[in-house]
Amino acid sequence: MHIPDVLINPGPSIATTAVGAAGLAYALRRVEERHGPRATSLMGMSAAFVFAAQMVNFPVGPGVSGHLLGGVLSAVILGPWAGAVVIAAVLIVQCLLFQDGGVTALGANFVNMGLIGAVGGYAIYGPIRRALGGRRGILIGSMIAAWFSVLLAAGAFTIELAAGAGREDFFRVLSWMALVHAAIGVGEALITGLVVRVVLLTRPELIEHEGEGRDEADRPFARAPGWASTIVAGLGVALGVAVFASPFAWDRPDGLEFVGERLGFLPEPEAPPILAAPMADYQAPVPPGLGVVDEVKLATAAAGLVGTLVVFALAWTMSRVFVAGDSRPDGVMVDVA
Amino acid sequence: MSPDGPLHRLDARVKLIAAVGFVVAVVALRPGSWRLLGGLAAILAVIVAASGVSPMRLLTRWLGFAVVVGFLAALTSRSLAERTGLSPALVVADLLARNSLAIVMMMVLAHVTPWTKLLGAMRRLGLPAALATTLAFMYRYLFVLRDELDRMTTARRARSFRRTGLSFGTLAGLIAALLSRALEREERVFEAMTARGWDGTLRTLDD
């Protein structure tokens, strides 16, 4: 997910660096206003936590493992802007100490994973949490937000990668990115949900913030349901859908031209094994006679559809099991009263 | 990290600016400028030699990145090939080569510059103090939390028979426990810092 140096053109690189710097400055100000001298230790420790948590490898298949990305998780625990600062710190350390992600792509990576991943993810989480209410809302909201945050980040990644390149490159990259990240997104949703579930069971006050919250004022979306949050969430969902729908919307050049263009080009590269994992099997069999691009488009749409259904089903099941096991004490107390 | 080369003793600001400048130059290079690329590679080779980094270590780390970069390069190579008149294979080679120069340069920078020095340099070059302090704090507890994670994993392993891997649920529980411990530790550390007069500004001997 980290964009390396050189792969995005100088134009988008400069633009995202500017946007990222402005976003980070704003996020830092919000966090400092809210936490004062505590900001440093809270953000620093949380960033160290996210970094360490990313080292936990979840076995997916033979030789393949995934890990938590943590954008939505930190936003759920700390609030959207603090979550963005945490991700920024993680990205800077990864870039400078471990060369994971390029220096000239640092802005782009922060826009994707910090601003879109954490702040955008929170914008999706907030309304769902409010709408469903209670712990079920928190659990389902965080899982769905985790899924969309990965997809939206992948969409932004594609735009940055293909900006300045041709339309065809754009859609080819988009197809692959969407396909691969549908799988990664399911993993992220699952891990985020499992972690949030355990936190809700053991330290619910970290998320629920009853009474004086850790940073209730830092959550523009946790207060009264405003138009802004509804619009942002709607936009997020729409963008997520667009990521999958756009391969279909691509009006491809007429047949001959298309075939001519395809001849003499490299064969479609295979996704590297690190990324392909859990959903690799389900590139639905396509009718023979379709071009490679059509296959990719179909597979993308299938990945999007199946992925969305899987995440919703997972979220729902987990919340059912979880709520059934957990709401009993409340029920007993109500009975006694 | 012991100072074991001429580059270690150099002012961190100089190293940071030089390394980032080198990367920007590599990124801004037009695809297919093989001669310039060769020149930059020669400069980098001299720097690597002076830094005392083991080339084997650079190579193994580089290989890990090269796979992903090659895949992404292949995805975008076609329109770039049309624009520059190079063949797609050459475009991929060019992207890979330029990316490798950038990555190796950043590896050398990380090798010859301790993190605290690098942070000090970034702060003096205009990084917001709040962010610099956060990064210093993060680095301080990064290894503490990693060790905590190791201990928890070992403890969990010791309690499960014959299972080499842990299940998703267990691993998620591990992360949740780490989160809870990290935030508890943050509370203790913050209180201790406050008791010693912490007001949000870090003062170091380098200032």
The per-residue pLDDT for range A218-262, each reduced to its tens digit, is: 444 444 445 555 555 566 665 565 555 555 444 443 333 343 344
Residues on chain B touching A172 (C-beta within 8 angstroms): 75, 78
DSSP conformation letters of A235-248:
HHHHHHHHHHHHHH
Instruction: State CA A137 to chain mean position distance.
Output: 18
Average pLDDT over residues A14-38: 93
For residue A337, name the pLDDT band (cuts at 50, 70, 90).
very low
Residues on chain B touching A168 (C-beta within 8 angstroms): 78-79
The per-residue pLDDT for range B113-132, each reduced to its tens digit, is: 989 899 989 998 989 988 99
Residues recorded for chain B: 207
The per-residue pLDDT for range A29-63, each reduced to its tens digit, is: 999 999 988 999 999 999 999 999 998 888 777 76
Q: Which of A117-126, A139-148, B48-57, B179-188 has the lowest mean pLDDT?
A: B48-57
Cβ(A304)–Cβ(A284) under 8 Å? no
Residues above pLDDT 90, as percent of chain B:
42
Residues on chain B touching A4 (C-beta within 8 angstroms): 65, 68-69, 72, 99, 102-103
Contact B72 A68 (CB under 8 A): no
pLDDT of residue B178 exceeding 60, the answer is yes
The DSSP symbol for A65 reads: E
Q: Which residue of A has its CA nearest to B24?
A: A104
Pairs of CB atoms within 8 A across A/B = 230
| Ranges of each domain in chain A | 10-204+228-248+290-323
Which of A99, A263, A275 best probes binding to B when mutated, by most B CB atoms within 10 angstroms?
A: A99
Residues on chain B touching A142 (C-beta within 8 angstroms): none
Report the Cα–Cα distance between both ends of chain B, in Å, rounded.
21
Return the SS3 of B51: helix
Among candidate residues A144, A112, A105, A115, the one with its CA nearest the CA of residue A128: A144
Q: Which of A90-94, A169-173, B195-199 has the lowest mean pLDDT?
A: A169-173
Q: Which of A63-77, A291-305, A309-323, B44-58 has the lowest mean pLDDT?
A: A291-305
Give A174's contacts (C-beta < 8 A, 6+ positions apart): A155, A158, A162, A243, A246, A247, A300
The pLDDT score that the predictor gives to residue A166 is 63
DSSP conformation letters of A103-171:
STTHHHHHIIIIIIIIIIHHHHHHHHHHHH-HHHHHHHHHHHHHHHHHHHHHHHHHHHHHTTS-HHHHH
Which of A45, A57, A157, A194 best probes binding to B when mutated, by most B CB atoms within 10 angstroms?
A: A45
Provide the ipTM. Answer: 0.92
Highest mean pLDDT among A54-58, A84-88, A145-149, A211-215: A84-88
Distance, CA of A316 to CA of A331 (rounded, Å): 21
Highest mean pLDDT among A72-81, A148-157, A199-208, B47-56: A72-81
pLDDT of residue B135 exceeding 90, the answer is yes
Name the residue among A40, A49, A96 with its Cβ closest to that of B145.
Answer: A49
Name the residue among A4, A45, A56 with its Cβ closest to that of B149.
Answer: A56
The pLDDT score that the predictor gives to residue A234 is 60
Residues on chain B touching A44 (C-beta within 8 angstroms): 133-138, 140-141
Which of B135, B175, B181, B201 best probes binding to A when mutated, by most A CB atoms within 10 angstroms?
A: B175
The pLDDT score that the predictor gives to residue A325 is 46
Contact B145 A38 (CB under 8 A): no
Instruction: Report the top-level CATH class of A10-204+228-248+290-323.
Output: mainly alpha
Between A74 and B51, name the one with better pLDDT: A74
